[in-house]
Amino acid sequence: MTAKKMSNPQLIPAWVDGALVPVEKLEVHQRGLRHLAVSVFVVAGAEVLLQRRAAGKYHTPRLWTNACCTHPMWDEAASRCATRRLREELGITGLAPVHRGTVEYRADVGGGLTEHELVEIFVARSDRDLALSPDPTEVMDTRWVDRATLERDIATDPAAFTPWLRVYMSDHAGLIFG
């Protein structure tokens, strides 16, 4: 088990031997440990904001996903994490993400890494003309898409989307669009 300084943002809450402890993010994914996560969807009317993950990401680079997906820092509230990551990844401020539910999934994300997440899902309502300022180390592109188009695109080319977005759309779309 890894026990390092609690202020290290690369330490995320994960279960080891039945206890929730801070573990290095890469180690969590290498070992496939169940861990806490946050996913945020930004919705404008019938459309949802997608981001394409930056090419330099250590897993699932260049894949399309929801507005932001992240891990809370140790002792960080999920709601605070959602707001923080909207700002850090996309430059979005002034939205109030609303908690919509909790989802658990496990997925191979390539390179010998596994996501096994207990995810707090948040939805933030916005106008489509929302000002974006993506961090290029996190995001290489963004686009707005309606649910039917997203479902069709995932069915046509699932490899273009992150495993978790495919799970959310196939099993939990009601949390997002409901």
Is 120 considered catalytic here? no
Q: Which one of the listed residues 68, 69, 81, 89 is annotated catalytic?
A: 69
Amino acid present at 149: T
Is 117 considered catalytic here? yes
d(CA 24, CA 143): 31
Sort residue 32 into left (φ over 0), alpha (ψ -120 to 50) or beta.
Answer: left
Q: Which one of the listed residues 89, 115, 117, 120 is annotated catalytic?
A: 117
Give the catalytic positions in this structure: 69, 117
